[in-house]
Structure 1
Amino acid sequence: MSQVTSLHEELTVAQRCLDDLARSVSRLEERVGSGLEIRRVRSDTEHLRESLSLLRDATPKAVPEQHQEMVTIPDAPYDSGLWTDVDDEGLGAQDRHAP
């Protein structure tokens, strides 16, 4: 996994946590009313959302995986003249014998 992907996953986790926080603040507001303290908490929560959004916009975008081009290999045999200066791979030279 690349660092960019991991970073985007972490930002997504942070966003989910902020969403949970916003829901909790809403429930608290229902219980304690809309006094100065809860308005400050709500405001701080919104500032965190904005900051996370700015951070997300500033991070490098995930690069889609590059698909390599398929190369067609013909079924016709290769020109044996291409191999005159090399040994048969794994078989050794034709004029030598295995031990």
Structure 2
Amino acid sequence: MSVHDELTSVQRCLDDLFRSVGRLEQQLGGGGLEMRRVRTDADHLRESLALLREAAPGLGQPRRPDLVTIPDTPYDSTLWTDSDDEGLGARDRHAP
């Protein structure tokens, strides 16, 4: 079985656990210390599985690079005083 299949299987089991814990809370009440511990432990398992999915190579969502904001204001024209206009040739020459 592949890692992806194993993680999916564990996720299904955790989903079943959460449903069972929810039913148990309804029957026993959620205020007791023991019930809160079971709920907290189940939450920790879910968080741990999410971290494991992110850490597993090739299984997490494809990560996009951080976006860079480009301002709408015009650039300083002195940045291009020593360059030619690409494709247009030099300023003081004519195209052949």
| Equivalence for 2:27 | 31
Q: Normalising by structure 2, what TM-score?
A: 0.58
Q: Pick the aligned partner of 1:40 from 30, 37, 40.
A: 37
1:59 aligns to 2:48 (yes or no) = no
Unaligned runs of 5+ in 2: 60-96
SS of aligned partner of 1:61: coil
Bigger radius of gyration among the two? 1
**Among 49, 70, 74, the residue aligned to 2:46:** 49
Runs of 4+ aligned structure 1 residues displaced above 3 Å come to: none
Q: Which has the higher contact order (CA 8 A, sep 6+)?
A: 1
Distance across 2 between alignment mates of 1:8 and 1:53: 13
Q: Per-residue CA shift, 1:37-84, capped at 9, x if unaligned?
A: 11100000000000000001000115xxxxxxxxxxxxxxxxxxxxxx
2: CA distance between counterparts of 1:56 and 1:17? 15
Equivalent residue pairs, number: 58
